[in-house]
Structure 1
Amino acid sequence: MASIQKRGNYWRVQIRRTGYPALSGTFDTKAEANFWAAQQEKTLSEQTPERVVQRLRDQDYALAHALDRYALDILPGKKPTTQRRDMGIIKRLKADYGEMALARIDGQMLSGMIRQWQTRLSANSIRLYLAVLSHLYNIARKEWGMVDLINPVELVRKPRLPQGRDRRLIGDEEERLLTAASAMNPELADIVIVAIETAMRQSEILGLEWRHVHWLDHTCYLPDTKNGTARIVPLSVRAEAALQRQQQRATGKDGKVWRYTNDGMRASYFKALKKAGIEGLTFHDLRHEATSRFCEKAIPMMTVQAITGHKSTQMMKRYTHISGKTLVDAVRGS
């Protein structure tokens, strides 16, 4: 039976049962004390002494220890790029909240953490932090035996993502960009063409190898993408011509298609933008441009999604912006 006594302005609860560890708690009101005592006695009647001891140990398990174990057990199974990203998140979480007990981070506390993050992180970054935390709690419950843990991420509202960028090539910007890029390095111009024609990401384009270019099928194969799944990308006549020009420049038919590194290409691309007098057009905007053009050609949505590799139709829609002329032509039958 629970012993409930008033100590000054507080109510003290003590629960002793043969074979079980002693439990105690302090509360502001007698009603709170009675409620907690009833909960604990119900738990004692349903669990073995060993399970109760384990549950008490779990309550003191620090977030830092849990994150270290997650990094050791779980991260090696993720893609290298994801490992690096998640390791950065883990280091920051440990530095800021490592001493907190894993079991004591509830929805209210996590909401406070989110408010702190919002002063320095984007909505997308915060969602990545929450994804790591949520996975950590699920792993702890399912694989580490901490069955009583409650995942606090399921109790909070995630920050809304901002509207996707709607920057597209305007007027003669494509011609000006390609002219500037060609003057700097014809290879750069062909990379831009491939981006506009295929909707491939920068990392996918620069990671492309000749063995993955299938001329007879007019496709290229991407074995390793951001989403972790391989995909086949169809090549337009224009994209294939750009790859053929690059093959003529290359010394062999093995290895990577492009000689640029990610950093080198990015720096050259921005120099070309400056020479062309174009502002506010990121390389990733070319992927949005390509995706929008596919939709303007009336290619079925699921087919476009298969080409671009977007995880969901909703995500693809977020980065697709049909031009005003296409919309007018659609309703006026031009």
Structure 2
Amino acid sequence: MGTITERRLKDGSIVYTAQVRIMRDGKKASASSSFDRRPAAEAWLKRKAAELKKPGGFEQLSRIKGNGATLADAINEYLKTSTRKIGKTKGQVLAAIKNHDIAAMSCEQITSKDIVAFAQFLNAGGRQPQTAANYLSHLSAIFAIAAPAWNMKLNSVEMDAAVAVCRRLGLTAKSKKRERRPTIDEMDRIMAYFEEQARRRGSMPMHMICAFALFSSRRQEEITSLRWEDLEPGRVLVRDMKHPGEKDGNNIWVDLPPEAERIIDAMMTRDCERIFPYNHRSISTNFTRATKVTGIADLNFHDLRHEGVSRQFEMGRTIPQAASVSGHRSWQSLQRYTHLRTTGDKWAGWSWLDAITRKSGGVARQ
């Protein structure tokens, strides 16, 4: 009654398409759905076979696509029709959900009980409650629009109820705020390591990039996207700044602390469109390698941004002043920093700032 066909995509990945075709009393009925794993496709076929044995099963299969669609169909439709750029993490989460049994269920059959069971499965599989919450958050977007947009009968009320239950049962939780900050000694060791690396021909000036990240509070993707044409005295335009609701076109002017301006002035890469013409992925890779070599535990490149924002508050800046540097649209996002006391600038007189701004950075591209 059912078949599974295997198809290799251009990127080398394999898609398994499960299809059911049946004829009864001269009438045809069919349904199909695609999955990233064969077991998920087999589970879908098994479920369809069980549905057909029930009274009215054939009639249900004969309905229009919207009423017979599975959760996997709804996810595929969302990925195909969304005009907004879907972030890498969200795309990966939705692809992963398609490989679970719940994705093979028809939309109209999914209840809060099924969603809670899915969250329990995630927890039992070793995923943290914060990860489970992330899965349900992205799945909620599908439930919110599937019925009105594509007549796929996902019930958003069932999703809302499941989210509330999962929260009360501890199956989901908010992400923990990371508080790791680099010490001056740790930054001295990292800078010394990268200065040595910078002597190699064609190497990336990671010592300058690290210092700029610390003083400017910029993310690695933002640093490598900054353009000379967007630079003005005391500020710079950050294009497509990370924002939960906007993946493109979120261009924000941010203030540049004097230390960050000094580093830009020392870059001497004006023959390039970008101020830091490097691959942002290489920045993270190089930083991770440096922490291992220098024996620094549990420190990542993004922690430099956290240090930069913390520095603003320790220098006595207000939330609006700190936001003008960090680029946060919501001042509520900066509430986590308000407990910091005004203790002054611990980076004042940092010898490495003078050392790196007396020389120009390299222009190697990676």
Give yes or no for TM over 0.5: yes
Separation of aligned partners in 1, 2:276 and 2:319: 30
Match of 1:223 among 212, 225, 239: 239
- Residues 74, 152 of structure 2: 8 Å contact kept: no
- Please give the TM-score of this superposition, normalised by the length of structure 2: 0.64
State the 1:205 CA deviation.
Answer: 0.9
Which of 79, 89, 93 pairs up with 1:85? 89
1:70 is aligned to 78
Is 1:296 aligned to 2:304, yes or no?
no
Answer whether contact 2:140 2:156 (CA < 8 A) is retained. Answer: no
The question of 1:108 aligning with 2:106 is answered no
> Corresponding residue for 2:343?
326
Please give the per-residue CA displacement for 1:123-142, whole angstroms capped at 9, x wherever unaligned.
Answer: 44333322222111221233
| TM-aligned CA distance change 1:91 to 1:112, over 3 Å | same
Deviation at 1:324?
7.4
Note if contact 2:217-2:326 (Cα within 8 Å) is conserved in structure 1: yes
Alignment pair present for 1:61 and 2:79: no
**1:212, 1:121 → 2: CA distance?**
42
- Change in CA separation of 1:189 and 1:310 when aligned onto 2, cut-off 3 Å: same
TM-score (norm 1): 0.69
Contact 1:209/1:257 (<8 A) preserved: yes
Aligned partners of 1:276 and 1:65: how far apart in 2?
49
User: Tell me, what secondary structure is at the counterpart of 1:220?
Assistant: strand
User: Which residue of 160, 170, 175 corresponds with 2:173?
Assistant: 160
Q: Which moved more, 1:301-310 or 1:182-191?
A: 301-310
Q: 1:196 to 1:109 in 2, by over 3 A?
A: same
Q: Aligned equivalents of 2:280 and 2:196: distance in 1?
A: 20
The structure-2 alpha-carbon separation of the partners of 1:176 and 1:323, relative to structure 1 and needing over 3 Å to count, comes to farther
Residue type of the alignment partner of 1:142: P
* Greater C-alpha radius of gyration: 1
Of 176, 183, 192, the match for 2:210: 192
Q: Partner residue of 1:98?
A: 103
Counterpart contact for 1:180–1:273, Cα < 8 Å: no
**For each residue in 1:289-333, what CA deviation from the matched residue of structure 2 results, as whole angstroms up to 9, or x when unmatched?**
111111112222133234323454444344x48667839xxxxxx
Q: Is the 8 A contact 1:218 1:234 kept in 2?
A: yes
1 CA distance for matches of 2:283 and 2:73? 40
Give the 5 Å matches for 1:183-332: 183-185=196-198, 187-214=205-232, 217-227=233-243, 228=246, 229-247=250-268, 250=269, 252-310=270-328, 312-318=330-336, 320=337, 326=343
The one-letter code matched in structure 2 to 1:91 is A
More deviation, 186-195/279-288: 186-195
Larger displacement relative to structure 2 (118-127 or 98-107): 118-127
Contact kept, 8 Å, 2:71 with 2:103, in 1: the verdict is: yes
**CA-to-aligned-CA distance 1:156-204 (integer Å, 9 cap, x gap):** 2342124312111225222332222222227211111111111111111
Greater shift after overlay, 144-153 or 89-98?
Answer: 144-153
Which ranges of 4 or more aligned residues in structure 1 deviate by more than 6 Å?
A: 54-57
Q: Which 5+ residue runs of structure 2 have no aligned equivalent?
A: 1-61, 199-203, 345-366
In structure 2, relative to structure 1, the CA distance for the partners of 1:162 and 1:65 (3 Å cut) is: closer
Checking the alignment, whether the CA contact within 8 Å between 2:254 and 2:327 is kept in structure 1 is: no
Paired residue secondary structure (2:108): helix
Please tell me the root mean square deviation across aligned C-alpha atoms, in Å.
Answer: 3.1
How far apart, in 2, do the equivalents of 1:146 and 1:267 lie?
A: 43
Secondary structure of the equivalent of 1:246? coil
Describe the shift of the 1:148–1:172 C-alpha distance in structure 2 as closer, same or farther (beyond 3 A).
closer
SS of match in other structure, 2:267: helix
Q: Which one has the bigger helix percentage?
A: 1
Q: Is the 8 A contact 2:236 2:256 kept in 1?
A: yes
Partner AA of 2:80 in structure 1? L
Q: Secondary structure at the match of 1:178?
A: helix
Unmatched 5+ stretches in structure 1: 1-53, 328-334
1:129 and 2:135 correspond = yes
Q: Give SS of 1:130's match.
A: helix
Residues 23-34 of structure 1 mapped to structure 2, 5 A cutoff:
none
TM-aligned CA distance change 1:255 to 1:306, over 3 Å: same
| Alpha-carbon shift at residue 145 of structure 1 (Å) | 4.4
Number of residues of Structure 1 aligned to a counterpart in Structure 2: 266
